Amino acid sequence: MTEIRALTPGDAFAMLLAGNERFITGRTQHPNQDAVRRAEIAPLQSPFAVLFGCSDSRLAAEIIFDRGLGDLFVVRTAGHVMGPEVLGSIEYGVSVLGCPLVVVLGHDSCGAVAATCAALEEGLAPTGYVRDVVERVTPSVLAARAAGLTRPDEIVDEHIRNTVDLLVDRSRVLADSLAAGRVAVVGLSYRLAEGTARLVADHGLGVPVRTPGVEEEPARPA
């Protein structure tokens, strides 16, 4: 079995995007999805990345990044909103499992972002615990508006950036690991129709973030 713990953040990022490229071009390999892999990792898991994404059913991480069993430590919530249990799960992936990369994965046509925009415009909050999701997305939408961002994709990207920043600000484990060069925390914006993942936020990786003029392009490894 490959020694995942020896991977650098850049190595992990390149592996993730190579899988996305295979998915985009229809050349998927479906690695690590057989009985041999199942038996191999039963005693111990060594994922190479923590994937914190939106719960949207179209955002299945192992599929869009062409990975398999034991490759990704996945945490998902609607609108990739955070609470203590999410932070604890991500910290577990970094401090216990040794993942060198944390990815926040958002996407276009995000229902949580759309619901938040509607609540702010109409002054009507959703009922039940959906309201909690909207309240946690609200700071991102307000920040986008303050920056003059109005298009839905721009607001989604701002929410991804804010989530990345919030992770680093709230988690001492991530901040210390970043400072030591053991981990990178990045944000990717996924386009549902094209299947592309575009880099919009980077802490510790040093890869150029895509500008709006090339937003249809997938992110590329350094």
pLDDT, mean over the chain: 92
d(CA 28, CA 11): 19
Pick the range with the lowest mean pLDDT from 22-36, 91-105, 120-134: 120-134
> Could you read off the pLDDT of 116-164 as tens digits, one per residue?
999 999 988 899 999 999 999 999 999 999 999 999 999 999 999 999 9
Instruction: Reply yes or no on domain 4-107+172-214 having CATH 3.40.1050.10.
Output: yes
Is residue 31's pLDDT more than 80? Answer: yes
β-sheet bridge partners, residue 185: 102, 203
Is residue 40's pLDDT more than 80? Answer: yes
Kindly indicate the confidence band of residue 222, based on its pLDDT and cuts at 50, 70 and 90.
Answer: very low
Residue 162 contacts residue 139 (beta carbons within 8 Å): yes
d(CA 153, CA 109): 8
Report the percentage of the chain scoring pLDDT > 90: 88
What's this model's pTM, rounded to 2 decimal places?
0.90
> Could you read off the pLDDT of 52-85 as tens digits, one per residue?
999 999 999 999 999 999 999 999 999 999 999 9
- Provide the strand spans (E) within the chain: 49-54, 72-77, 101-107, 184-190, 197-203
Residue 199 contacts residue 153 (beta carbons within 8 Å): no
> Could you read off the pLDDT of 164-219 as tens digits, one per residue?
999 999 999 999 999 999 999 999 999 999 999 999 999 999 877 765 544 444 55
Output the pLDDT for position 211: 53
Output the pLDDT for position 123: 86
Structural domain spans, the chain = 4-107+172-214
